[in-house]
Amino acid sequence: MRLTGVLTITALLAFLCVAGTPAIAQQGDDSDQPAQPADAPAVPDEPQETAKKPFALYVSVGYGETSTDPLNTSIQSSSLSNAVSALEFDQSWTKSAIGWKFANGKGDVRLVYNGYREDSYSFTSQGFDSTYLGPDTNPPVDSPLPWWTLKIENGVLQAERTPPTWDAIVDDADGDGIVDLAEVVFAAPDLAHTLSVTDDLQGSIQFADLLYGRNFGGRRFDARWWAGLRRFSYEGNVLATAWISSLTFPGSGFTDGTFLRLLNLRQKTEGTGLTTSIESRFNFFDKRLQLYLAGQVAFMVMDLEVDSGEFFTVISVNNLITPAFARLQTTRDKDSWQTMGEAGLRIHLKNGLSLELAYNISGFLDVVLTSPEIQIPLTQQEAGQGTTAIYNTQDIVTDGGRAGISFQF
């Protein structure tokens, strides 16, 4: 990522400038030395000791694993059909920092990088439609009925269609002439398939914080505040299913991954903003053991993009099944918040070395664009207008643990 390279080079240049400043030698005062006789032999000057400033560089690295709350990728295609879907990720998490501690308690400056990389994902979906099988298909349906179930785990897609059946004579328990879900009988699956699909949606979250902070407090309890700038980016793919056919065949037109592929919403989000944090620390054993609670918030100005790439819906033209090409694509500008809460412990060893364990919850709000509602063409005349959609933003919320090591030179 170009941003990370720019920030890293900036930090290194700042470090070289600071580290290259010559140490100020503290000169000894010889005004109190006894005068030497004029004829005394010359005594060579004793070497003067120079007091050196401490090398105040700080570095840390950490690694952890997190999981995300489910993303809701459900899509309503019409009042008669909809798909209810959820997508979850497991991620690896790396955190690193480089900084400089100023003398005389004047604070620290740090460049902190966090990177989340998708390791695996799981996807579940159900397709609901207001059709059923039976001797009489005229009675209205109380609500869309489940036709399809689909799931993806470990790169394997499994889908099956179980047709709902209803007979007014046998199944209309309340006698109201309406097809209720509790009255429907589901037949054995008439379609089922298992496919190998990608096991990586290439999702990644990266952000870098350039911070300045200072400590305050006492020996048993102290705290630290930070404030600075954040640069953020998110890229990845979000899966969804939908009914994308205007055909009247019951149970047809669902994106089950075969003839009609799943929708793949390619995401790209970038943002810049201000961030601040506070950390409270409880110290034991002369600060060798430290328990801490930390919170952080960032206000971001973001640009979001989503693109499904080209796919096709299905229409009937002169009783022939015909594809109608479609694409879901849009951009949005969004102001939003990002939050973090963390609890952990640190063990401070001698010579500036520290070990850290932490549990973290982070919320990246409004960083994903999804389409909760689409409108597909029904006729050849409408096909030229393509498929339109309503777009909503969604949050990515992660939680997990991290272990790390740091060194204050």
DSSP string, 191-213: EEEEEE--S----EEEEEEEEEE
Is residue 149 a part of any domain in this protein?
yes
Rounded Cα gap, residues 230 and 210, in angstroms? 7
Say if CB 267 and CB 238 are below 8 A apart.
yes
Q: What is the pLDDT of residue 23?
A: 35
Q: What is the pLDDT of residue 318?
A: 76
Is residue 77 a part of any domain in this protein?
yes
Q: What is the pLDDT of residue 53?
A: 54
Rounded Cα gap, residues 279 and 41, in angstroms? 64
Coil, strand or helix at 383: helix
Is residue 383 a part of any domain in this protein?
yes
Q: What is the pLDDT of residue 15?
A: 40
Q: What is the pLDDT of residue 54?
A: 59
DSSP string, 116-139: EEEEEEEEEEEEEES--BSS---S
User: Which residues, including other chains, have CB under 8 Å from residue 81's CB and lie 6 or more apart?
Assistant: 127, 128, 129, 130, 144, 243, 253
Rounded Cα gap, residues 59 and 98, in angstroms? 5
Which residues of the chain are modeled with pLDDT < 70? 1-54
Is residue 273 a part of any domain in this protein?
yes
Is residue 8 a part of any domain in this protein?
no
Tokens standing for residue 371: 């389409």
* pLDDT tens string 332-379: 999 999 999 999 999 999 888 999 999 999 999 999 999 999 999 988
Is residue 280 a part of any domain in this protein?
yes
In this structure, the number of other CB atoms found within 10 A of the CB of residue 329 comes to 13
- Helices assigned H by DSSP within 186-317: none
Say if CB 17 and CB 10 are below 8 A apart.
no
> Per DSSP, which regions of 218-319 are E strands?
221-240, 263-284, 289-317
Is residue 39 a part of any domain in this protein?
no
Domain encompassing residue 359: 54-408
Q: What φ, ψ does residue 12 adopt, rounded to 5°? A: -65, -40
Instruction: Decide: residue 280, CB within 10 A, 0-12 exposed, 13-18 middle, 19+ buried.
Output: middle
Is residue 13 a part of any domain in this protein?
no
Rounded Cα gap, residues 58 and 19, in angstroms? 13
Total domains, the chain: 1
Tokens standing for residue 145: 């009925």
Residue 393, domain CATH: 2.40.128.100
Rounded Cα gap, residues 313 and 171, in angstroms? 34
Q: What is the pLDDT of residue 29?
A: 39
In this structure, the number of other CB atoms found within 10 A of the CB of residue 148 comes to 22
* pLDDT tens string 31-68: 344 444 445 455 445 444 444 455 799 999 999 999 99
What would you report as the CA-atom Rg of the chain, rounded to the nearest whole angstrom?
32
What sign results for the dihedral spanned by CA atoms 340, 99, 409, 213?
negative
